[in-house]
């Protein structure tokens, strides 16, 4: 890892502007309601923190964690909920907040899991999503930026727990 250069693909200014726009859409759509923002740990916590401060409406936050499929790049890994929400989301308007939608499998699992708690509505807000998964028709109601292939870090997103603290978003170049 140490040697892999980071190439900046999205600046903090671009992020700030886009998060503000996304928050404005959410504010318009949830006017008069008190949605529950469910943040997917760990990668989405920085995004969540910025998003809720721009949202300008009463809201609640909760956190959920899913097992990743680790090193395996296979699409058939079993995803399990490692930490569930503690809020009773039955009848509530839920916004699932994630960092990056790669294959979309984690999203699908978490969507189904939360839906089983009978929320009044359930939408997804993701900072990043692969162009590939968008082309395949995965529904992301609020999307920050489509991104091409390449391992992304920064703004809360890690590679082996590194680089979460970077204010901009980078891709790790493999030489
Ligand atoms: P999916 O189930 O394939 O959509 O993968 C979802 C999760 O894998 C994301 O929420 C991230 O935690 C992680 N992930 C996927 N791609 C990247 C990346 O480029 N950088 C960092 N984490 C990633
Ligand atoms: Mg994630």
* 136-173: pLDDT as tens digits: 999 999 999 999 999 999 999 999 999 999 999 999 99
Instruction: Answer yes or no: 102 catalytic.
Output: yes
The mean pLDDT of the chain is 94
Domain boundaries of the chain, sorted by first residue: 13-150
Ligand 1 contact via 138 beta carbon (within 6 Å): no
CATH for the stretch 13-150 = 3.40.50.2020
State mean pLDDT over 108-135. Answer: 97
pLDDT at position 68 is: 74
d(CA 110, CA 133): 16
pLDDT at position 77 is: 65
Q: Is the pLDDT assigned to residue 69 strictly greater than 90?
A: no
**From residue 126, how far is each of 32, 71, 97, 100 by CA, in Å?**
23, 23, 6, 6
pTM for the whole thing?
A: 0.94
Our CA angle for 54, 55, 56, nearest 5°, is: 95
Q: Is the pLDDT assigned to residue 67 strictly greater than 80?
A: yes
d(CA 27, CA 57): 6
Token pair in block for residue 49: 């923190």
Ligand 1 contact via 105 beta carbon (within 6 Å): yes
* 7-62: pLDDT as tens digits: 999 999 999 999 999 999 999 999 999 999 999 999 999 999 999 999 999 999 99
Query: Which residues partner with 81 through β-bridges?
Result: 66
Q: Is the pLDDT assigned to residue 74 strictly greater than 60?
A: no
């Amino acid at each position: 890892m140490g040697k892999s250069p980071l190439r900046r693909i999205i600046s903090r200014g671009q992020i700030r502007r886009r998060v503000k726009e996304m928050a404005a859409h959410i504010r318009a759509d949830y006017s008069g309601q008190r949605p529950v923002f469910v943040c997917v740990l760990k990668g989405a916590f920085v995004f969540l923190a910025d998003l809720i401060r721009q949202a300008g409406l009463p809201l609640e936050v909760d956190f959920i964690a899913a097992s990743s499929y680790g090193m395996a790049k296979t699409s058939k890994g079993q995803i399990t909920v490692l930490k569930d929400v503690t809020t009773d989301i039955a009848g509530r308007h839920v916004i699932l907040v994630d960092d990056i939608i790669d294959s979309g499998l984690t999203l699908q699992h978490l969507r189904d899991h939360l839906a089983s708690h009978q929320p009044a509505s359930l939408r997804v807000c993701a900072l990043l999503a692969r162009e590939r998964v968008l082309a395949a028709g995965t529904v992301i109601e609020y999307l920050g930026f489509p991104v091409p292939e390449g391992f992304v870090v920064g703004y809360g997103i890690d590679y082996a727990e590194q680089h979460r603290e970077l204010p901009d978003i980078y891709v790790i170049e493999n030489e």
